[in-house]
Chains A and B, each alone.
Chain A
Amino acid sequence: MSVLNITKAAPFTHAPNTTQSIMLTVLLALAPATLFDAWLFGWPAIFMFILTVGFCLLLEAGCLILQNKPLTPSLTDGSVVLTGWLLAMSLPPYAPWWISLLGAIFAVVLAKQLFGGIGQNVFNPAMVGRVALLVSFPLQMTAWVKPSSAPGFVESLGITFGHASLDGISAASALGYVKTELSRGVPVSESVHHLPALSDMVLGIHPGSFGETSAILILLGGLFLMARKVISWHVPVSVIGTIVVLSGLASLADPARFAGPEFHLFAGATFLGAFFIATDYVTSPVSKQGQLVYGAGVGFFTWLIRTFAGYPEGMAFAVLLMNTLTPIIDHHIRPRAFGRTRKGEPLPVKGE
């Protein structure tokens, strides 16, 4: 038989997973929460979602063409769809089309392609998109609406593409409401009573970003990811654990000023951030020990910004802040090598 070219070393077998299969699994895990919120908020939200993901794909294709890079596998592995999906989930449900477009530009062009494409970005692209929009267009980015407002199809086109006003259906998110009341002098312990019932908060029937409202569905999606070994428990547990511990201690000390753990858990993007955003492979540390530190930092900054800073929601900023520390965490926190001490010296042989 003819001589085979030796072009590859062992191993000559491979696990069935690929980048694409991982991305598709994550999208599958996001689907329940997304579908629920699509039902909850109606057509404008669906348009916003489609536009966001669509713009992300188009912009990624454009960047690849400009760089003379092949369109596959970058477009087909699902990574940019995931970026667009997560960005859409963190936008207000009735955001106009140009918010979707600008968000996609910030996320895909700025945060991902300009850094070198998949695997090279320092910052979480979806969060860069969200934060850039939040800082530039605070009004549109905090335009929350009552759930089940359900505008008709044509009316929804007007909301997404036109200048239809949201008066009559606008509402405050839980985080926003509590912060605003606090600034008016109303203690936290009182304002939490005016929030939707806890069951509604958990199920997701309350104002918020598209996709982040249903804590229970996000949690189920996150557990699904853990069962499929796409993510491990380290980041979610450390993010949520840190928020719970900090908010628990603080609210015990001063319940009038500090909201308790159940508020922090079910209001805002806690679960979405813990399971889907902070677990982003590229921007989080590679080692398990490093992930614990990273998650603790995300939880800490989230609580800090929510409690003391000017913005009601801190998850996006917390993730971006910890992204800057990921390379340092990776550099200093490495697993202990077999047969060596933590410092890298060979283990001492007993009796020497």
Chain B
Amino acid sequence: MWIAVSSLAVMGATLGTLLGVASRYLHVEDDPLEQELLGILPGANCAQCGFVGCGQAAAALAKGEAAVTLCPPGGKSVAEKLAKKLGVTADLDAHEEKGPEYAEVIEDLCIGCTRCIRECTSDAIYGAPKQMHSILRDNCHGCSKCFKVCPTEAIKMCKVPVTMGEWHWPKPDDLPHAG
């Protein structure tokens, strides 16, 4: 019996050690993940997540150093996709859905300095020096860079309204049960 026990123990120990060594020295670096995460992010480099550019955010996500709810313009859909790619469950209930926003110029306050035009990541603002600036709502994704840079606070961030055409039934589980 002792021969059986000891031989199995030796085999187990040897194979276990081999596996441990292999997992350390033959480990494959996970590069493609970062590229895939970058693809999911909006790519506007708006820096609302705190990282300089989406590339850095993707790197942090790949290392697991950032939460999947880090991207406000991306909203819930991006957070869900990131969670799926990383194989984590995102606690989206706690995630404060700021809701999509868009920027609007308060014409009375605009002095035509063009600083916002230069900041806009998606070329949604048109105007010329000393001319009134306007924002194309369909091209604005609410990164708020223009809002932060305007010297006269002539830009305000507005919530994108939900129209009847976009309304849909909430999940039955989320509705209160009427008597």
Residues on A facing B (Cβ under 8 Å): 5, 7-9
A352 to B169, CA, bound (A): 37
Check: B27 CB closer than 8 A to any chain A CB: no
Could you pull out 11 A-B pairs where Cβ atoms are within 8 angstroms?
A: A5-B176, A5-B178, A7-B175, A7-B176, A7-B177, A7-B178, A8-B172, A8-B175, A8-B178, A9-B169, A9-B172
Q: Mark B36-70, 1 if CB is under 8 A from A, else 0.
A: 00000000000000000000000000000000000
Chain B residues contacting A7 (CB-CB under 8 Å) are 175-178
Chain A residues contacting B176 (CB-CB under 8 Å) are 5, 7
A8 to B176, CA, bound (A): 9
A9 to B176, CA, bound (A): 13
CB neighbors of A among B160-179 (8 A) = 169, 172, 175-178
Question: A14 CB to closest chain B CB, in angstroms?
Answer: 15
Chain A residues contacting B172 (CB-CB under 8 Å) are 8-9
Chain B residues contacting A9 (CB-CB under 8 Å) are 169, 172
A293 to B117, CA, bound (A): 67
Question: A197 CB to closest chain B CB, in angstroms?
Answer: 58
Question: B179 CB to closest chain A CB, in angstroms?
Answer: 10
A76 to B54, CA, bound (A): 57
Chain B residues contacting A5 (CB-CB under 8 Å) are 176, 178
Considering the complex of A and B, which 10 residue pairs feature the smallest CB-CB distances, nearest first?
A7-B178, A7-B175, A9-B169, A5-B178, A7-B176, A7-B177, A5-B176, A8-B178, A8-B175, A8-B172
A9 to B169, CA, bound (A): 8
> A5-B178, A7-B178 are known contacts; what are 9 more A-B pairs with Cβ within 8 Å?
A5-B176, A7-B175, A7-B176, A7-B177, A8-B172, A8-B175, A8-B178, A9-B169, A9-B172
Question: A124 CB to closest chain B CB, in angstroms?
Answer: 29
Chain B residues contacting A8 (CB-CB under 8 Å) are 172, 175, 178
A7 to B179, CA, bound (A): 10
Question: B175 CB to closest chain A CB, in angstroms?
Answer: 5
A178 to B175, CA, bound (A): 61
Chain A residues contacting B178 (CB-CB under 8 Å) are 5, 7-8
A5 to B176, CA, bound (A): 9
A124 to B172, CA, bound (A): 30
A7 to B171, CA, bound (A): 10
A5 to B170, CA, bound (A): 13
Q: Tell me the nearest residue of chain B to A9, going by C-beta.
A: B169
Question: B172 CB to closest chain A CB, in angstroms?
Answer: 8
Question: A268 CB to closest chain B CB, in angstroms?
Answer: 45
Chain A residues contacting B175 (CB-CB under 8 Å) are 7-8
Question: B173 CB to closest chain A CB, in angstroms?
Answer: 12
A9 to B177, CA, bound (A): 12
Q: Tell me the nearest residue of chain A to B169, going by C-beta.
A: A9
A5 to B177, CA, bound (A): 10
A8 to B173, CA, bound (A): 10
Question: A314 CB to closest chain B CB, in angstroms?
Answer: 39
A211 to B8, CA, bound (A): 53
Question: A1 CB to closest chain B CB, in angstroms?
Answer: 15
A5 to B178, CA, bound (A): 8
A9 to B168, CA, bound (A): 11
A231 to B44, CA, bound (A): 58
CB neighbors of A among B107-146 (8 A) = none
Question: B124 CB to closest chain A CB, in angstroms?
Answer: 37
A9 to B174, CA, bound (A): 13
Question: A270 CB to closest chain B CB, in angstroms?
Answer: 42
Chain A residues contacting B169 (CB-CB under 8 Å) are 9
A228 to B101, CA, bound (A): 57
Question: B157 CB to closest chain A CB, in angstroms?
Answer: 31
Q: Tell me the nearest residue of chain B to A6, going by C-beta.
A: B175
Question: A4 CB to closest chain B CB, in angstroms?
Answer: 8
Q: Tell me the nearest residue of chain A to B175, going by C-beta.
A: A7
A7 to B170, CA, bound (A): 9
Question: A7 CB to closest chain B CB, in angstroms?
Answer: 4
Question: A264 CB to closest chain B CB, in angstroms?
Answer: 48
A7 to B177, CA, bound (A): 7
A351 to B176, CA, bound (A): 51
A212 to B166, CA, bound (A): 59
Question: B170 CB to closest chain A CB, in angstroms?
Answer: 10
A138 to B16, CA, bound (A): 43
Q: Tell me the nearest residue of chain A to B177, going by C-beta.
A: A7
Question: A259 CB to closest chain B CB, in angstroms?
Answer: 48
